[in-house]
Structure 1
Amino acid sequence: MFVHRPRWLSVMVDSMTSSTVLSSPTALMGGSLYVNAIPPPDLNKNTSWFQYPGVWTSYILLLLLGWLLVLSILGCSAGTAWSIVNLSHFAITYWAFHWKKGTPFAEDQGMYNKLTWWEQMDNGRQLTRNRKFLMVVPVVLYLISCHTTDYRNPWLVLNTIAVSVMVIAKFPNMHKVRIFGINADYPT
């Protein structure tokens, strides 16, 4: 029985079983140095942008820019500025990632109307690289803001509440869970 294999797979299998070494890396890809990534057919436009290269760097730079703006406009201490950035980050990301439901695109025909952005991300798979990154960012912001305010009240209490809510909302076992029915869809 003959099984058809793609050319690149045949080259890889044959190169692993034979004693010859391929002369160039382009031989594996059939002459191209670029990897051809084929997106899944149900690609969600609402969350696919977060998979692009450079998004994590842009996210961090945006937080640093926000800190510089708060520091320069308000003229406050560095710790207060970090706490304001942390609490602003909490408010914005909680609303955008964990409260607002659906997508702005009509092509999905209402498939994601009952899901938040966090529940749509990575097609609902848990503990992906993007989800881990978005879970680490609030924790790092919390540590920076608490350390730079010398663990003083009221910043310590506010930052602790913010990071607790953000991290608990991102736990895998909180996927599609609505506590006390808050933000739940009830039939009308």
Structure 2
Amino acid sequence: MLGLYNCTQCCPPRTSSGASCLLEVLQAWSTHLSSSKLDKISAPGLHWHYLNRLDEYLDIYGVTYQCFHWKKGTPFAEDQGIYNRLTWWEQMDNGKQLTRNRKFITVVPVVLYLIASHTTDYQHPMLFFNTVAVFVLVVAKFPHMHKVRIFGINADQ
């Protein structure tokens, strides 16, 4: 199991952080998709409509924003604080924009937004919340937002 996420094959030493290297491994894509479906398996008594909301809000919007756009630094101590001021999204692919990893992680919330909007029959309250959440996630992933802190939120003190 540990061999699946061996980052020494995909990342040369000292060119990227350990957190971004984990995201460059292709198995991380399948982990991202399968983890968003675990709540549907773990709660079989709930209606599919509610599970879809739970999946979208908690897994995709909440966890994705927390992990990629809020959390700074790396979980590893070898980098000696080089990446402490960068979010995981800014560390991914050494800061290169529009790579296949970044495109994949940007497309997943958009596709789930389209599915969720269709399953709720485009009803006003759910459509509004879905639109705001996906807008915040997608705008945070734009290349022009690299290292930008809006209103000083999550800025270094």
- Report the TM-score, using the length of structure 1 for normalisation: 0.72
Taking structure 1 as reference, are residues 38 and 170 closer, same or farther at Cα in structure 2, changes over 3 Å only?
Answer: closer
For 1:95, give the aligned amino acid.
Answer: Q
SS at match of 1:154: helix
Larger radius of gyration: 1
1:84 is matched with 54
Taking only the aligned residue pairs, the percentage that are identical comes to 53
Distance in 1 between the 2:42 and 2:112 partners?
Answer: 16
For 1:67, give the aligned amino acid.
Answer: K
**Which deviations, in whole Å up to 9, do the C-alpha atoms of 1:103-136 show, x marking residues without a partner?**
1211101000000010011111110100000000
SS at match of 1:155: helix
Moved over 4 A (4+): none
**Which deviations, in whole Å up to 9, do the C-alpha atoms of 1:29-53 show, x marking residues without a partner?**
xxxxxxxx57323232112112223
1:104 is matched with 75
Provide the alpha-carbon RMSD of the alignment. Answer: 1.6
Instruction: Tell me if structure 1 keeps the 8 A contact 2:10–2:25.
Output: no
Instruction: Tell me if structure 2 keeps the 8 A contact 1:146–1:159.
Output: yes
Q: In structure 2, list runs of 5 or more residues that go unmatched.
A: 1-8
Please identify, of 167-176 and 80-89, the stretch whose mean Cα deviation from structure 2 is larger.
Answer: 80-89
2:3 is matched with none
Residue 13 of structure 2 corresponds to residue 48 of structure 1 = no
Please identify, of 45-54 and 138-147, the stretch whose mean Cα deviation from structure 2 is larger.
Answer: 45-54
Shift of 1:54: 2.4
SS at match of 2:124: coil
Instruction: Tell me if structure 2 keeps the 8 A contact 1:46–1:117.
Output: yes
Residue 96 of structure 2 corresponds to residue 125 of structure 1 = yes
- Report the TM-score, using the length of structure 2 for normalisation: 0.86
2:31 is matched with 58
Distance in 2 between the 1:142 and 1:60 partners?
Answer: 14
SS at match of 2:117: helix
Distance in 2 between the 1:46 and 1:38 partners?
Answer: 13
1:116 to 80, 87, 90: 87
RCO higher in 1 or 2 (8 Å CA, sep ≥ 6)?
A: 2
